[in-house]
Amino acid sequence: MRLGIDLDGVVAAFNDGWTELHNAEFGGELHPDMVTMWNGLHTLAGFESMGEFWAWARGNGERPSVFRHLQLLPDAIETLQRLDGARHRIVIITSKPRWAIPDTLRWLADHEVPTTEVHFVDRKHEVPCDAYLDDSPLVLPDLVTHRPDALVCRFVRAWNDPVDGAHDVAGWNEFERLVSDFAVTRGDDAQ
């Protein structure tokens, strides 16, 4: 099966990365668990707008963008490797500013994410997949609406709420189990 996998907040520890970088640059004491809303990062970081947050996150001549500094979330790479080994196709589908694309591609290579297909898009439903894993409260309802035959999974986070038609997963093991069950239900031999 084709598995559409989001990056930030799903594979990459985005909130851990940006809060650590912010603390180092501004001497703050931000923690990833302080992030409870989707578009409120600027408030937490002390910027007047999300535009200012992204201008800071972009990087400068002294450092690359925040997307280059991210760690893997627990069990992400190991699960992706097992799913890839089970003959599923890992399709990375991420929404990023254009300036973040080079650092994101370097990050994928550095962490040896098992994919041969990467999409940088806002309308993730336009990339056909059999299953999706995302944490965006904006993307999940769109996937459920436009991909009704797909297995849509919400990576449960403080900034998203349950979505009718999406399956909640608290971790990578749950996602792997749902994919395996879905493959059996569909009659796919990749398990």
Residue 112, token pair as written in the block: 């040896």
Helix axes 76-85, 172-186, angle to 10 degrees: 20
pLDDT of residue 190: 46
pLDDT at 117: 97
Per residue in 106-115, is it b (16+ CB within 10 Å) or e — as a string? ebbeebebbb
% of the chain surpassing 70 pLDDT: 98
Do 56 and 74 sit in the same domain of this protein? no
Domain with 62, as residue range(s), is: 15-68
Tell me, yes or no, whether 135 lies in a domain. yes
**pLDDT confidence of 51, banded at 50, 70, 90?**
very high
pLDDT tens for 93-111 read 999 999 999 999 999 999 9
Q: Are residues 96 and 9 in the same domain?
A: yes
Length of the chain: 191
Query: What is residue 189's predicted lDDT score, i.e. its pLDDT?
Result: 55
pLDDT tier at 191, thresholds 50, 70, 90: very low
Residue 161 maps to which CATH number? Answer: 3.40.50.1000
User: Is residue 78 a contact partner of residue 70, using CB atoms and an 8 Å limit?
Assistant: no
Distance between alpha carbon 5 and the CA centroid of its chain, in Å?
Answer: 7
Q: Considering the chain, what percentage of its residues have pLDDT values greater than 90?
A: 93
Indicate the pTM of the whole model: 0.94
- Whether 191 maps to a domain, the answer reads no
pLDDT value, residue 186: 85
- Count the domains in the chain: 2
Q: What are phi and psi of 173, to 5 degrees?
A: -65, -40
DSSP string, 71-91: PBPTTHHHHHHHHHHTTPEEE
On whether both 74 and 57 belong to a single domain, the answer is: no
